[in-house]
Every structure is written in C-alpha cells, then in structure tokens.
Amino acid sequence: MDKTTPKPSSAPSYLDAAHGWRSWLLTRDHKRIAMLYLTAISVFFVAGVTIGVAMRLELMAPGRTIMGPQTYNALFTLHGVIMIFLFIIPGIPAVFGNFVLPLQIGAEDVFFPRLNLFSWYLYMFGAVFALSTLFIGGLPDTGWTFYVPFSTTTKTNVTLATLAVFILGFSSIVTGLNFITTVHRLRRPGLGWMQLPLFTWSVYATAWVQVLATPVIGITLLLIIAERLFGIGLFDPAKGGDPILYQHLFWLYSHPAVYIMILPAMGVVSEVIPTFSRKRVFGYNAIVYSTLGIAVVGSLVWAHHMFTSGMSDTAVFVFSLLTFLVAVPSAVKVFNWVATLYKGSIDLSPPLLFALFFIYLFSFGGLGGLVLGAAGTNIHVHDTQFVVGHFHYVMFGGAGMAFFAALHYWFPKMFGRMYDIDSANWGAWILFIGFNLLYFPMQVLGLQGMPRRYYDYVPHFKRLNALSTIGSWILAVGLVILIYNLIHSILYGRKITQDPWIGTTLEWTTATPPPTENFPADAEKEQSAA
C-alpha cells in the first residue's frame, strides 16, 4: 500500500455510515464503540474532577469549610472509584486501543466485535451500579481500597459498590482477551511481531495483565460481599481470619492495575514522540522488551503498599528490591524517548507538548515512588499526603497527560476535523502549571506529616493547603479550555481529509475519518484475489 497518499475512497466515513441512536447503541464497529467509551469516560472524568475540586475546597482552610467528615470520606471514595475504575483503567485501552489498535495492524475490526460491544454495556452497567450507591444505602466511606475490617462492618453500601467494581473488572477482562486475540489473529499478512507499532505493543502487554490480574480482585471483592452477607469469616480475626490477607489479595491485582493504567500511556508517548521529532523511535526493541518487563516485574511488587501492615523483614526487603527493579525498564523508556527527541526535527504541536509533560511529571512522580518503595523512608511518608501527591503525579501526570496526548494526536483521525492549536497549547500549559501547584505542595505536606484522608488538619499546614487549592482552580481552568476547544471543534472545526501529522503507522494510510471497513480498497483486492 502506498504510504504517503491515502486513496480517495467512495465509502462513507464510519461517522456517516449510518444514522440514529440504534446505529450507535447496537454497533459492532470498533471505531463507534471507541466513541461510546469516549463519551462515557469523558462524563465520568468531569464528574471525578468536580469531586476532586470540591475536596480541595474543603481542605483550603482548617476545620469544616464546605462539608463534614462523613461527606468527605464518601467523596474521596467516590473520587477514587470513578477515577480509577471508570476513567484511568479503561481510558486509553478502551477508547484509543479500540479505535487505533485494529487500524494499526491493518485489520477490519477487533476479533470479537459483538463481545466488544458487550464489554461496553458491562462497563455502563458497572458504572450505573457504582453511582447508584449515591441514592441506595449510602455512599461507601472506605476509600477505593475497600480495606477490611472497616469495609465489612461499615453501614454504607459497600456491597453494591464492590459488585460494581466486579462487573467493571469483567468488562476489562473481556476487552483484554479481545485485544490479545486480535493482535494474534488479525495482523496484516507480513506484519511481524517486531514490526508492530509501539502503541499496539503496549496495549497488547496491558491486555495480558488485564486478563491475568483482574480475576484476583474479582474474587477478593466477592469475598467482601460474602463476608458482609453471610459472615464467612475469612478476613475476620474473631473467626480466625486474617485482614492482612485481604490487603495481599487486593494489591495482587491493584498494583498490576497501576501498570494497566501506565503501559498504554507509555505506548501513546512512544507513538507521539517519533512522529513529532520526524525520526524513527530510538531503540524499538528496548521499548518492546521494557514494556514486557514492566508487565512481568510490575506483577511481583504488590506488597510494597503494605510495609506498615505487618510483614516479615525478609518480605519487606524482597518487595522493596523488586520495586526498585521496576524503575529500570521505566527509566529505559524515558531514555529512549529523550534519545528520540535528540537531533530530531521537533514540531511542538499539542500532542508532543502533552507527551513532554508526561515525561516530566511521570519521572518526577516516579522518583517519589522510590522514596515510597524504600523500606526505611516508606515508614515516614506512609499514608500521608506524600502518597496522594506521588500517585497523582504518576497517574494523572502520567496516564492522564497521555490520555490528552492521545486525544489531541488521534482527534483529527477520529472526527475528520481539526481543533484550534493555540487554544490547545494554552489549555495544556495552564493545566500543567495548575497541576504542579496542586500536587507539589501535597508532597511537601506529606513530608511534614500531614496524613491523607482527613477533612481537617492542624493550622500549621494552612499555607501549603491554600496554595494547593488555588492550583486545583488553575488546573480546572486549563481543563475547561481543553474540553471546550475539543467539543467546539467536533461541531465546527475545520474539516480535514489528510493526515495532519505525517504519521507513519497504518492508521494514517486510510481515509480520514476512516470508513467502516477501515481499508476498503484492500478488502476488495483480497476478495478479487480469493
């Protein structure tokens, strides 16, 4: 196939192929399913941000500012559940994996199109369950980790919330197995494993973690439900059970889940940086192997969340060592990205800007992660605002920024329209400044000893908290600019039919936006040959 000039196709784009709500809600087209995810995920993201800003507002001054302790506890739980299970975990794989992965391997769709739609419905079903706790039985106040014994004794509706997470996990497993099968069976003939685009590689590696790790949290949450409904006693010390075992099982999934969040983000960055440096990516093989390395080693570090929970010194030592080991493949990637930029012909468009923010924020957060992963310093900062700051640096600064990079990179392909570059740049910079102002003080506060998950604090911490709250407003302004720019562009943006970025992967070789069959000219060729 000629790579530079997309063939003009008579086939209508996937957006115009059919009309009416049925054509969307019953679609099996991976691109339309990606749109369904994008819509839902955006709504939940905005809801999560709103709750986050409200929590920051409460923390602006000591004492009760706008809400009491119970509301605050419920909100940080809801914020966590929404952001983790409804935004970051499905974010990049379900939206961009769905849209881009089949295109990048030259396929017409994913391997199981019906299953793909089914997993979107599971996702929506789980989301409705999670949010219905707002009205039924009271919002859980346990935090998104649902730690026992509190989660099995609190009067709030933990049962419904954990059931929701179970369903969301099932959706994630189904998506994962769909992607693995797709990459194995639907690659264009001649497209070998070591020629796969790096985004496809990262979604593939993530899919394995999704399939193998998610069931563990599924069973753990079922045990919570069984404990609440029947009192089977597995985590209840009064019956001989062990609460620490719950923490092990929970993190056995939830730490690999961190890599479910970050690996696809790294894949996005590995696509964006070469495209906007006009260079081949530096060390393709190293990036592939470090992706797989992170997927494997990342599954063996879970107990570093539990250094203060009670473990043998040997276990602390081993898990601390393994934690440090994950830093190696992560650093390999950062090195590769920076080396790709070196002597490149750099075009600082919004996607690259977000990718650079990613590198900076992720590296910063990652270094904080080493402070947390070291057994000694961990004791000092455990359960403080330092953890909250670190987590947001790697997750929001990492996966979140990459989500925006992906959105600004593939937006023209998805909608066939261009957004306003200046607004995107302004929004990105304001977001970045607000971000650092919001989360950096948290790290300092944590080092000074301010615990997390409290709606109140001693007056000593007043100034930095006020600064952090102001940061949350600036961040919100940046987000409003970005989101307004994109929505406005979907409706009124300049129409384009060409690849605006001169990308080299297969998704840029078909029409913009792609027709339903993705590569209709090739399909005809195949049929006439058969």
Residues within the interface to another protein (CB under 8 A)? 108-109, 111-113, 115, 173, 176-178, 180-181, 184-186, 211-216, 218-220, 222-223, 226, 230-234, 239-242, 245, 249, 252, 517, 523, 527
Q: How far is the CB of 499 from another protein (least distance, A)?
A: 25
Strand partners, 495: 417
CB of 392 to another protein, least distance (A): 29
Collapsing DSSP to helix, strand or coil, 68 comes out as coil
Q: In whole angstroms, give the CA distance from residue 377 to residue 529.
A: 65
Indicate the residue among 143 and 233 with the shorter CB distance to another protein: 233
| Shortest distance in whole angstroms from residue 293 CB to another protein | 20
Residues in the chain: 530
Q: Which is nearer to another protein, 47 or 523 (CB)?
A: 523
In the complex, minimum distance from the CB of residue 84 to another protein, in angstroms, rounded to a whole number: 20
Residue 259 near residue 295, CB atoms below 8 Å: yes
CA dihedral 54, 55, 60, 66 (to 10 degrees): 60
Complex with another protein: residue 118 or 393, whichever CB lies closer: 118
Residue closer to another protein, measured from CB, 30 or 79:
30
Q: How far is the CB of 184 from another protein (least distance, A)?
A: 6
Shortest Å distance, C-beta 181 to another protein: 5
Q: How far is the CB of 215 from another protein (least distance, A)?
A: 4
Distance CA 7, CA 12 (A): 13
Helices (H), 239-283: 243-277
Using CA atoms, how far apart are residues 260 and 186, in angstroms rounded to an integer?
23
Residue 179 vs 282, nearer CB to another protein:
179
CA distances to 60, 107, 395, 411 from 430, in Å: 20, 39, 18, 21
> Closer to another protein at the Cβ: 59 or 252?
252
Which positions ≥6 away from 14 have C-beta within 8 Å? 29, 31, 32, 513, 514, 515, 516
Based on CB atoms, which residue is closest to another protein, 117 or 361?
117
In 342-497, where does DSSP find H-type helix? 350-373, 375-381, 385-394, 401-415, 421-448, 462-492
CA distance 204 to 283: 19
